[in-house]
Amino acid sequence: MAKTKKQPRPRAETPKGFRDYFGAEVTERAEMLQKIAGVYHRYGFDALESSAVETVEALGKFLPDVDRPNEGVFAWQEDDEGGKGDWLALRYDLTAPLARVYAQHRNDLPTPYRRYAMGPVWRNEKPGPGRFRQFYQCDADTVGSGSMAADAEICAMLADTLEEVGIPRGDYIIRVNNRKVLNGVLESMGLADDEERSAAVMRTIDKFDKVGEAGVRELLGKGRLDASGAFIDGVGLSDDQAGPVLTFLTSKAEDMDETFANLRKAVGDSAMGQEGVTELEQIADLLAAQGYGPDRIVIDPSVVRGLGYYTGPVYEAELTFDILDEKGRPRQFGSVAGGGRYDDLVKRFTGQAVPATGISIGVDRLLAALREKGRIGGTDRGPVVVTVMDRDRLADYQAMVGELRQAGIRAEVYLGNPKNFGNQLKYADKRNSPVAIIEKARGIVQIKDLILGAQIAESATLEEWKERPSQFEVPRGELVARVRDILDGQGG
């Protein structure tokens, strides 16, 4: 008789592109989200929690292909009796679900509808260092208003949010541009109706921060050699045709009025381009009226990322302090948030134009920035641990814990094998517990200040030990008060 083949044990490993988050990381994220939500709520935005799963049709960017629509999203097809069901996918951002929600519930929602949303999103992309397939986003959007006041408000709110979570003024800048200005540039170049060459120009503009003015000039023309020595074909524009693009990209000046004059020159006679410059002027005026100057929010035509998606103003929040890369070289931290006006997204569902604008914060990148600056990080403080001296008296130990918890003190009873008392204290250390409780006799408990004990063990002299004992005995009735005193002294 053949032996039954044993099933191999599953591998205990996180899927590629995903990671697990423990104690302090989860707490830090929750605290940050709470702070962000507080700012959004203060600005009058309401919370929305939409489904993590959408139809691929509703997501829009990733429509079903011949076989399966798995480019960029995690998708599957529902089984349907009598035929194939809908393609569903995990949401890849929080904006596409908003468009579906507004279209579905627009008769019951106020106009404009101002909402914020927070949660994980999933992208079926190649993972890399610091690039995961699941990550948190934190969005705020206004749907139903075409006023530039909505865009200015989003920028002001973003500045307030960064400062609220611990990024001080001077360590960030919010840059604002406008897709209409770029469209005006393309019109002035005679490329408005040439989709292929317009797309090539857009891709070239997107490389401005990497190759600079000279590199863009070469790529708009015949092409250039990249760092590896390979030749990159250019768009094939003449110098005259490329001129407006370069004027556009380099139009930022020390004086705001000069920046706007340069932009108007770049768009020439294009009505759309002139409209885009006017919108930027309105945003700048509205922000200045609220006290948000160019030290916090600046008009900057070099912001080009995402211009293909947006229909009007675009914004990007950049952290300006230096960090060290993997080779120890200083570099700026970079972007932590982006957004803009997208007036065509809801139209996919309703057939009617619905103006909308919003921002998305990359929560994980913002947390990483705060860790780099030393403003968060370290280990999460654990609970007070009540040790077990007699397993038959667990009810008494649970009574101690109950009193501590009712006083608002985080506490637990040791639930492992109590036979080896040393293991109980090792457990408390591993939990980063501030205090351990040991029953010495009925009605008497010993309180061990584990934080002070560790400090004394490292550096204190015998005299300091006598002056500040790290453990002492108290009557059972004083347990809660004495533990509270210790925690207050530890800053807990």
CATH code of 175's domain: 3.30.930.10
Q: Is the link from the previous residue into 8 a cis peptide, with omega within 30 of 0? A: no
As for how many domains the chain has, the answer is 2
Q: Which of 314, 344, 372 is the last residue of a domain?
A: 372
Does any domain span residue 446? yes
Q: Which has the minimum average pLDDT: 156-165, 192-201, 301-310, 459-468?
A: 459-468
Q: What is the per-residue pLDDT for 382?
A: 92
307 has a pLDDT exceeding 80: no
Contacts of 368 (CB under 8 A, 6+ apart): 130
Residues 157 and 263 in one domain: yes
State which H helix or E strand residue 356 sits in. Answer: strand 356-362
Q: Are 34 and 111 in a shared domain?
A: yes
What is the model's pTM?
A: 0.84
The answer on pLDDT for 4 being more than 80 is no
The CATH number for 409's domain is 3.40.50.800
Residue 326: pLDDT band (50, 70, 90) is low
Identify the helix (H) or strand (E) that includes residue 211: helix 208-220
Closest C-alpha to 349, from 107, 158, 102, 131: 102
What tokens appear for 360 in the block?
Answer: 């998305």
Reported as a pLDDT band with limits 50, 70 and 90, residue 196 is confident
Instruction: State residue 338's pLDDT score.
Output: 94
Same domain, 309 and 421: no
Encoding tokens for residue 365? 């990148």
Give, rounded to a whole angstrom, the gap between the first and last alpha carbons of the chain.
66
Look at residue 65 and tell me if it is in a domain.
yes
Same domain, 199 and 330: yes
Domain assignment present for 2:
no
**Res. 361: pLDDT tops 50:** yes
Pick the closest to residue 341 from 316, 315, 362 (CA basis): 315
| Boundary (domain end) residue, out of 372, 402, 434 | 372
Give the model confidence (pLDDT) of 265-305 as tens digits: 999 999 999 999 999 999 999 999 999 999 999 999 888 76
Whether 372 has a pLDDT exceeding 90, the answer reads: no
* Alpha carbon 239 to chain centroid, angstroms: 41
Does residue 225 lie in a domain region?
no
**Shared-domain flag, residues 55 and 142:** yes
Res 63 pLDDT > 60: no
Mean pLDDT of 316-344: 83
Angstrom distance (rounded) from CA 320 to CA 307: 22
Is 70 in the same domain as 105? yes
Tell me what the mean pLDDT of segment 167-175 comes to. Answer: 94
pLDDT tens for residues 204-251?
Answer: 887 887 888 888 888 988 888 887 778 888 888 888 888 888 888 889
Question: 49 or 190: whose pLDDT is higher?
Answer: 49
Assess whether 365 and 418 both reside in one domain.
no
Q: Distance between CA atoms of 55 and 58, rounded to whole angstroms?
A: 5
- Could you tell me how far CA 28 lies from the centroid of its own chain? 13
Domain of 130 in residue numbering reads as: 23-203+246-372
- Give the pLDDT confidence score for residue 85 in this predicted structure: 82
Residues 341 and 295 in one domain: yes
Residues 108-137 pLDDT 10s: 999 999 999 999 999 988 887 778 999 999
pLDDT of residue 189: 83
Does residue 396 share a domain with residue 347?
A: no
